[in-house]
Amino acid sequence: MNFDTLLLDLDDTVYPAESGLWGAIGLRINQFMVEEVHLDPQGISELRERLFSQYGTTMRGLIAEYGINSRDYLAYVHDVPLQQFIQPDQLLRTALSGLQQRLVVFTNADRAHAHRVLKVVGIDDLIDQIVDVVDVDPYCKPQIPAFKIALSLAGVTDPARVAFFDDNVSNLKVARSLGLYTVRVGREVENPEYHACISSLSDLRKALFPATEQAGHE
C-alpha cells in the first residue's frame, strides 16, 4: 500500500473514546439546546438522536430546524477543560513522527477546537492541514459531498492514495465507497464496512505497513 495522505478524524480518534471528553461536549450540546434554543430538557436526547441521524450532526439539524448560528454553537459546546480529559500522548507523537505522508485532520468540529485538542495531545506541530466542519459547509461527515470537498481542499487527486482513520463506522463506510483505504480506530473488530481496525491511532503503522510490523516481531 502506497499512500500520499493520511486523513485523520479528531474526536475519539486522536485520543481514546474512554477519555470522557466527548461526553463532556455532549453535555454542553444539551445545555446549549436548553439555554440558547429554549427546548424542553425532557426531549433533548430523543431530538439529538433524530437530528444526528437525519442531518449528520446535531449542529446541522439545529441550523436547519431552528436557525442557530453555527459559530456560536461551536464556541459554546467546545468550551470544556480539555486537560481534565486528555493528556500528551508520546506514543502517538512517535507513531506520527517521520511519516512521509501528509497528515490532514478532517473533523465535524471547528478548527479552534481541533487545534486545542491537538496541542494538548502534543501533535499539533505534526499536522499539515485541518479541514473542519466550516470548510465543508453546508455538509458534514458522513455526507459524500463533505468528503469530496475535504479531499479537494487537501489536494487529493487519487482517493486510493488516501488512508482514512475514524472511530465512526458510518464515516468509514462512505469513505470506503469513495475509494479511500479505511481504518477503524478504537475497536479491533473486523467489519466489511472498512479495510482494517486498530485499538489506538498510535498503532496506525500496523494498518499502513502490516508486513513490516509483522516482520519486526518475528
pLDDT higher than 50, residue 165: yes
CB neighbour burial string for 52-72, b if at least 16 within 10 angstroms, e if fewer: eeebbbbbbbbbeeeebebee
Mapping DSSP to helix (H, G, I), strand (E, B) and coil, where does residue 121 land? helix
In the listed set 77, 98, 116, which residue is the last one of a domain according to the structure? 77
Decide if 109 is inside a domain: yes
In the listed set 47, 77, 107, which residue is the last one of a domain according to the structure? 77
- Looking at the structure, tell me whether residues 107 and 206 fall in a common domain: yes
Decide if 83 is inside a domain: no
Domain count, the chain: 2
Count of CA atoms in the C-beta half-sphere (13 A) of 128: 17
- Looking at the structure, tell me whether residues 127 and 176 fall in a common domain: yes
* CA 35-59-127 angle, 5° bins: 120
- Looking at the structure, tell me whether residues 43 and 102 fall in a common domain: no
Q: Which domain holds residue 25?
A: 21-77
Decide if 187 is inside a domain: yes
pLDDT at position 203: 96
Rounded Cα gap, residues 193 and 183, in angstroms = 10
- Looking at the structure, tell me whether residues 32 and 62 fall in a common domain: yes
Q: Cβ of 126: how many Cβ atoms within 10 Å?
A: 15
- Looking at the structure, tell me whether residues 60 and 120 fall in a common domain: no
Residue position matching grid coordinates 472498512: 194
Decide if 188 is inside a domain: yes
Decide if 50 is inside a domain: yes
- Looking at the structure, tell me whether residues 116 and 178 fall in a common domain: yes
Confidence of residue 159 (pLDDT cuts 50, 70, 90): very high
- Looking at the structure, tell me whether residues 101 and 199 fall in a common domain: yes
- Looking at the structure, tell me whether residues 109 and 136 fall in a common domain: yes
| CATH code for the domain in which residue 172 is found | 3.40.50.1000
Q: What is the layout of strands, in order, in the sheet containing 102-106?
A: 129-131, 102-106, 5-8, 162-166, 181-185, 196-198
- Looking at the structure, tell me whether residues 68 and 92 fall in a common domain: no
Q: What percent of the chain has pLDDT over 70?
A: 96
- Looking at the structure, tell me whether residues 54 and 122 fall in a common domain: no
Residue position matching grid coordinates 477546537: 113
Q: Structure pTM?
A: 0.92
**Per-residue pLDDT tens for 81-126?**
999 999 999 999 999 998 999 999 999 999 999 999 999 999 999 9
Looking at every residue in the chain, the average pLDDT score rounds to 94
